[in-house]
Amino acid sequence: MEWQPSHRDRQALALRSDWSHLTRLDQLWAELAQRHGDAIALEAPHADPPQTLSYRQLHQGIELAAAGFAALGVGAGEVVALFAENGPRWLQADQGLMRCGAADAVRGSAAPAEELLYILEDAGAIGLVIESAALLEKLALGGAQLGRLRFVVLLQGELGPEAPALPCLSWDQFLEHGARAQSPLESPLQAPSRAPFGAPNGAPAPDPDLATLLYTSGTTGQPKGVPLSHTNLLHQLRTLGVAVSPRPGDRVLSVLPIWHAYERSAEYFLLSCGCRQAYTTLKQLRSDLQAVRPHYMISVPRLWEALLSGFEDALASMPAARARLIRSALANSRATSLRRRQAVDLTLAPEPLARRLTAGAEAALRWPLHRLAAALLWPKVRTQLVGGRLRTAISGGGALAIHVDAFFEAIGIELLVGYGLTETSPVLTCRRAWCNRRGSSGQPLPGTAVRIVDPEHRTPQAIGQRGLVLAKGPQVMAGYFHKPDASARVLDAEGWFDTGDLGYLLADGSLVLSGRLKDTIVLSSGENIEPGPLEEALVASPLIEQVMVVGQDQRKLAALLVPRGEALQAWAAAQGLGAGPALLKALCRECNRILVSRPGARADESLLAVALVEPFSIDNGLLTQTLKQRRDRIAHRDAAAMADLYASRPMAVGGR
């Protein structure tokens, strides 16, 4: 079904600037400079030196970068690699390339060198914009790469003595290069009409409408290039306003990698609204929340989980009586919000009339207590947690556990969950403030169609029936970069994109996700289990920091757990348990208690055993830059623990 914009959607879009006249994303910045002038657009307080740019300065910087790239010979349809982290210079380079009619192939500087070299080769990049000389040395470019590159530009620092034998410029030198070449470009910049540079292996050159090349995270195999056009990105710019309507000057705190599709589209959109955006890092996040006091923040479920964990740690350090009072108030506010927001019933079973009447009476009693907590308690919690001004937050890049969703709603922060993929620019669906159904991923964006089909036969499924999620719309890519076979596997002749996700639609058009088709665990009995919902339930436990459910081709499921160390020790002491098999058995029983209490729980969704493992992180390569688990790499690292889970050695696992 293609979800038609509701009256509320149309109202929200009407309040925003009409960008329908734009044909390319890079045309945006001149208009923003005229509208917002000296208002601050970007801040990078942790850069060396710290950087602040007004909208006028941002536009001037983009034009200067465009002139610099044009002077270096960058032409229409060509690709330049951009390997760097968040900051104003990244955005100037990104949009400067688009102003030349070129595209960038992007990745973060923390990616493995072999991955960056693969992208450089696969994209057919003719130039390289890179974070630092240290990263350039790490890449150790060889003859083939150097033969293709025409230049290297450093965003930070100076080049060392080992610079490659081709034009290598620091950022200041690059801007000076652009300033010298800018005199003939004083009129609106026109893309050079030179022939595009050929792609590898004689493949055709990129489409001149190509805006950027993003590469999939590589959680399962080699990354694939996702070419996104100006049309794809402009659709996001024009439609994300159905979810939020920021005002000029509203503050935004950016923590996700700027090169990622989710952060990138959100940044373009928020800047188009005249917001003031500050860049932070995971290490600086807590202090910057207090310094910036953002109105909006875009992030992934793992970050919201971390903020909730910080709240729980603070509760644990309080006097017992005060902690009990806050927990009681939180439980009351959660229950009140649950009734008000009408969370998704994942069993799809109708609620009996008697239960509805009882719940209504209970809600009438809870409401005054919730109003009292909302006035006296939750403002203080919001101030300590996120600076006090954050009232709307957007979560994407993965499923948000319902207990996390409920916590933020209870304390007065609206979490609007969205869903999409790199291949869809990325947003396909999002929750609206007036239709914020907890547990769902929201309704499709205007002009976007979502269809649920049987994974095997591709026959359409009815409302409420689970199946494979297909999507179609202006934000969907045309196909993977120079990979026609891979493209044919995910895009059919009618343009429907196979997301690889499983879910179902509600009557109001909201999408509820239930897992990834490729993550489905098939037990030896033939039963199919989606690990995602089980992992969401388990990570809600105060004892568990991270979890991965396993069991492919086994008779029962098991789990790799990363515990919350202090909480687990305190729980074990209260249970009279020491370390070893007894603790693991008790922890497995606790996990099964959580799983069996889920609505619609199945008997085959219980665990045979659990094993305690080391954390999954970006640094050890087990999480992507947007904090998704690399399940194949975790399975490889913890292969011995997984083997022990199903072996007869009781010291390694906790049985039921």
DSSP string, 89-146: HHHHHHHHHHHTT-EEEEE-TTS-HHHHHHHHHHTT-SEEEES-HHHHHHH---HHHH
Residues 365/271, Cβ–Cβ less than 8 Å? no
Residues 434/402, Cβ–Cβ less than 8 Å? no
Residue 260 φ then ψ, to 5°: -75, 145
Q: What pTM does this model have?
A: 0.83
- Residue spans of beta strands (DSSP E) within 398-538: 414-420, 427-430, 443-444, 449-453, 467-472, 497-505, 511-516, 521-522, 528-529
- Among residues 147, 138, 123, 96, the alpha carbon closest in space to that of 225 is found at 123
Strands 392-395 and 276-279: unpaired
Residue 218 φ then ψ, to 5°: 75, 25
- CA 482 from centroid of its chain's CA atoms: 25
Question: Using only C-alpha atoms, what is the Rg of the chain?
Answer: 26
Length of the chain as a residue count: 656
pLDDT digits (tens, 9 = 90+) for 478-528: 999 999 999 999 999 999 999 999 999 999 999 999 888 888 888 877 788
Task: Please tell me the distance from the alpha carbon of residue 547 to that of residue 472, in angstroms, as a whole number.
Answer: 33
Domains recognised in the chain with CATH numbers = 37-208 (3.40.50.980), 520-652 (3.30.300.30)
**Which DSSP letter does residue 26 get?**
G
pLDDT beneath 70: ranges in the chain:
1-4, 143-144, 161-163, 183-207, 218-221, 338-367, 648-656
For position 649, what pLDDT does the model report?
38
Instruction: Write down the residue that tokens 């910049």 correspond to.
Output: 189
Residue 650 exposed, middle or buried by CB count within 10 Å (0-12, 13-18, 19+): middle
For position 361, what pLDDT does the model report?
44
Strands 467-472 and 497-505: antiparallel
Task: Please tell me the distance from the alpha carbon of residue 427 to that of residue 495, in angstroms, as a whole number.
Answer: 17
Residue type (1 letter), 626 = T
Task: Please tell me the distance from the alpha carbon of residue 497 to that of residue 325, in angstroms, as a whole number.
Answer: 49
For position 1, what pLDDT does the model report?
55
For position 187, what pLDDT does the model report?
41
Structure tokens at 424: 């869809």
β-pair partners for 418: 430
Q: In what order do the strands lie in the sheet with 103-107?
A: 168-169, 151-154, 127-130, 79-83, 103-107, 210-215, 225-229
Structure tokens at 279: 């860049």
The reply to whether omega before 352 is within 30° of 0 (cis) is no
For position 111, what pLDDT does the model report?
87
Task: Please tell me the distance from the alpha carbon of residue 35 to that of residue 385, in angstroms, as a whole number.
Answer: 34
